[in-house]
Amino acid sequence: MEHPTDKLRAVLLTALMIGSVFTAGIAFTGTAVAAGDITGGANDSGTVTGAAVDPAQVATGETTNGHNFRFTVANVNGSGDTDTIRVNFPNEFAEGLSYNYADLEFTNDDDLQIDGGENLVDGPDNDGVDDTLPIETSPETDGDVEVVLNMNTDAPAEAGYYDIAASYEENDGTTSSNDAFATVTVGDPTTTTSDPGTTTNPTTSDPTTTTNPTTSDPTTTTNPTTSDPGGETYEGRLDFGDNPWDTSTGEGDVSTGATVFQGEDDIQFVDENGNDVSATSLERASGADEGVPLAMPIPQDQTTGSYDLNGPAAGDGGLRVTVQTPRVTTLEVQNNAESDVSGGILTTNQDDASVYVEYNYENAEDIELIVENEDGLDVTDEIVEGTDTMNGDGRIDINPNAVDAGDYTFTVEGVDDLDFGDATETVPVTISSSQTASLNLAADEVVQGENLQYTVENSPEGNFHAVTIDADDFRNGISASNAANILRNVGDTSETGVVTDGGPTTAGNAGDVDIDDVNYAYAIVEIDGGNGVGSINSQHLDDASVDVDLYPASTTEDTYVNDDGELSNATELESLETDDDESFDVTQGTVSLDSPTGAYVVGSERTVNGTASAGIDEVSLYARSNNDFQLVEIDGDRSIEVESDDTFTEDGVVLTEDGDEGNDLLSLPGSYRLGVISSEDADIDGNGAIDSTLTTSEFNSGVSSISSLTVTDTELNGSFQTYNGQVAVEDGEVGVEGTAPGKDNLVVAFVDERGQAVAHTISVDNDGMFDNDGLSLGNLNEGTVSAHILSSGRDGTFGESGTYESASALETQIEGEDGWASGSSSGEQVREQILANTVDDTASDDLIVTEELRLASALTTIESVDGVEAGGTLTVEGQTNRQPDDNTITVELLDQDGDSVTLASTDEWGSNGQWSVEMSLANVEPGEYTLESDDGDNTDRQDIEIVEEVEETTQQPTTEVTETATATETATATETATETATATATATETSEDGSGSGIPGFGMGIALVAVLGAALLALRQN
């Protein structure tokens, strides 16, 4: 019996358990972090680990490739919906900001897939600046997500502190606050620049408080006492004390906030309180090498970034420096006009020349100029006017007249340690005492149409020179516009044109000039970067030796070029002697057509291809009619582009398609001359357009070739696929195949005897073949059906020109709502309408193929049976009107109870509809059976009889029979019975292993009966 106290105890225990569960729930929920909260850094053991930003400090204007930003998103909801993480950068970082990659993972190290975003967009401030990166993800489990973002950044030019923020938006639109998770320090912020959210001096070790470290008043904003007794602040490279920094020697004291460089030596670090600190006390603050100490001298491959006394730990311990790579960013040797001649020529008369330098380590060392001649001899003291060192960006004056003419190298580097890698730069310069410019051609021979580059050398930077080619070297038959473009307006060319007795005419206005009035073609070329580069188009030059003249530079004394680089005084130019002249040979180019040649069927698609010599950019096709060549457009274009390998190719071209006069010409059967010519030579009037008609003389005078083309009319051959001359209603489809070269589409029509019609548009392959296995017969009536294949012929239209211009139009007319088969016309009348409006229409060149077929119900029959002996092979043959692609005929052998004994099937038979199957009768007993064929819709039966297999018996030798008989006669009755049983058993065993001859029908059952009989006989005798 249960005591009442026991019941009460059970109730109390239950209540206590329930209460503890609720209490635990309240305790856990009371300390939860808000969903989507952003915190800087990712310090879990997974792959997404590290400080919030690395590097945390960069120089002003510095480009950082692979800038890492890390943060953690708390309490992500694993709904499986797409959420968005948005990382927001300051506007000052937007220029040059680009995305490399991001990694997401839960704090349990499970990876999280990125689903989209990853393109910079305008941020939540909607100021039109693309400064925000969205990252889409679909977490399926709850948890904290750690994010690492790898970007390329360009630091702003203004030093300061810049916040990086992030937010998390769930699929339902719920968004966390835009929390700043990291701050990037740019440059060396001055004491008046403060960290966002703080009013302390940037050199204070604790940027989160506004309290002066030496005062108890938390409201004061005075500078901390990081200074020497004289009031100087310990910050950057110090300019006070016993060991101030000296850029001329690269030595001195360096304190917190300074930027130091790879390769520097002789640095004494001093903390914010003026205490000396060894370099090894400073450790990498973050990144892959966090905790690695600095060394002195600083290694040339020291990892760039922030180093401080606390290393990876919070704070900087009173001393933080940034390591950067020293670089020379600009080195130019400039002439009097301050134009860069590096790599070019500086003439000795340039007495105001200088070397201009920009570099990033001016706070560490001065820059030094070293000049050496081609033998490696240092001539710095000779060529430099004044000092050969300076601090900061600027110029070092040089006098090229103080040294001999020749090749020199100009090198700048730091005066102390910074003379390696990017901290140094070298450029070559040729100093020339000659005042005569020279002309250099890239080749001595070109193929007509090929471009030839030339270079004007040995002239001061910024000079303008005239380059000319005389009209005697022009190709016959060209226009003034052609001539004005012989010297191309490319490279350092400022103007091109032609000169007549009336003066210069620019290329753009040469269309109104008579070619007979042109004296020469000209180009004005500027010396830029040490040389002046131009180009000659040989297409319009004679295939002979061509002379190119270079004139002296236009000067204040001999001015023929204005301030805009234009030829302004041709008379002044012609009064000058040339500085130089060069000649080159022009050889005639070639072009050939490989295809199409030989035979061509009207309307067919062919590949047009061939080869052209270098310098020919485009070719055009022409067909000859009488004495003129007519343009053949290629897919609506008047030319074909020549590839870089000097070949041209266009696939799937229909030469007879609507185009120019040459296309119409090739639409008529006959033999033609098909020509290909350089497109530039096909622009006879020089107006930039390829001419539609060329005379034989004009065609032959250009770079051209001719081949023969025989055009033949289109053809039509085809047939319909039937089986035993029929199509089964149950199949309802007909196959058609054939050839129709030159056609894209055909119409196939079916008409029954009651005037119902079905029409289809079918396509023709590029090789002229067509093959369609599934043309529906719709609701045609059973009986005779006429089948027609219709081609629009050579003119591409059905019937008289313009009647039915497309296959689809004819299809609609045959079977459409208002078509020929829509009324009460008979089949014969519909057929007459089709013929009258196509092949029999006036001036029609349409083609037709017609066949008759019978539409009937599905029928499969058994026609013959062969091989009905048991153990043999039964062959069944029959007839069907079904399609083998969609149907299978199955033949079953049924016993007298209707049960299946064996079956066979086939899905292969020819257009005559005759099918055949074979089935084995190895396990079939003799008797009466029924054969049944089934095609899925109808069956056929035939009764057959399987007869017993007839076997030939081999007669035993006479001697063996005689011996057996004698033994039987001399034995007693008992012996006979015993021997008989034994012989029977032996015979049975022999037949089972296949070694005995045996007797048909004398099997195991008979042997057992014989043994039993012998045994009973023996028992009776006993």
The whole-angstrom separation of Cα 736 and Cα 748 is 9
pLDDT at position 1016 is: 57
Entry pTM: 0.43
Together in a domain, 575 and 561 = yes
Together in a domain, 531 and 559 = yes
Give the other-Cβ count within 10 Å of 13's Cβ.
Answer: 10
Q: Look at residue 34 and tell me if it is in a domain.
A: no
Question: In terms of residue numbers, what domain contains 128?
Answer: 47-186
Instruction: Choose among 264, 460, 476: nearest CA to 344.
Output: 460
pLDDT at position 875 is: 95
Query: 181 and 89 in contact (C-beta within 8 Å)?
Result: no
**Per-position DSSP letters for 87-98, written without gaps between them:** EE--GGGTTT-E
pLDDT at position 694 is: 93
Query: 328 and 422 in contact (C-beta within 8 Å)?
Result: yes
Longest Cα–Cα distance of the chain, Å, equals 161
The whole-angstrom separation of Cα 13 and Cα 10 is 5
What are the CA-CA distances from residue 993 to residues 447, 916, 990, 996, 1004 (Å)? 94, 38, 6, 8, 13
Of the residues 673, 696, 712, the one at which a domain ends? 712
Together in a domain, 488 and 528 = yes
Give the other-Cβ count within 10 Å of 62's Cβ.
Answer: 21
pLDDT at position 181 is: 82
CA dihedral 239, 245, 247, 250 (to 10 degrees): 180
For residue 95, the domain's CATH number is 2.60.40.740
Together in a domain, 151 and 113 = yes
For residue 380, the domain's CATH number is 2.60.40
Q: Look at residue 284 and tell me if it is in a domain.
A: yes
Together in a domain, 390 and 299 = no
In Å, how far from its chain's centre is CA 537?
35
Together in a domain, 700 and 833 = no
Together in a domain, 806 and 933 = no
Tell me which residues of the chain have a pLDDT lower than 70. 1-51, 108-109, 190-231, 801-802, 950-1022
Together in a domain, 800 and 888 = no
Q: Look at residue 30 and tell me if it is in a domain.
A: no
Q: Look at residue 997 and tell me if it is in a domain.
A: no
Domains of the chain: total: 7
**Per-position DSSP letters for 107-147, written without gaps between them:** TTS-B--EEEE-S-EE-TT-SS-EEEEEEEE---S-EEEEE
Together in a domain, 407 and 442 = no
Together in a domain, 353 and 424 = yes
Q: Look at residue 636 and tell me if it is in a domain.
A: yes
The whole-angstrom separation of Cα 878 and Cα 873 is 17
Any residues with CB less than 8 A from the CB of 785 and at least 6 apart, and which? 727, 750, 751, 752, 753, 777, 852, 853, 854, 855
pLDDT at position 951 is: 58
Q: Look at residue 667 and tell me if it is in a domain.
A: yes
For helices 1004-1021 and 973-992, the axis angle rounded to 10 degrees is 160
pLDDT at position 625 is: 80
pLDDT at position 954 is: 47
The whole-angstrom separation of Cα 762 and Cα 175 is 58
pLDDT at position 230 is: 53
Of the residues 665, 688, 712, the one at which a domain ends? 712
The whole-angstrom separation of Cα 498 and Cα 629 is 31
Together in a domain, 154 and 124 = yes
The b-or-e profile of 638-649 (16+ CB within 10 A means b, else e) is bbbebeeebebe
Query: 790 and 846 in contact (C-beta within 8 Å)?
Result: yes
Instruction: Choose among 781, 679, 677, 765: nearest CA to 732.
Output: 781
Q: Look at residue 849 and tell me if it is in a domain.
A: yes
pLDDT at position 193 is: 38
Of the residues 807, 837, 856, the one at which a domain ends? 856
The whole-angstrom separation of Cα 37 and Cα 60 is 31
pLDDT at position 51 is: 63
Together in a domain, 407 and 503 = no
Q: Look at residue 1000 and tell me if it is in a domain.
A: no
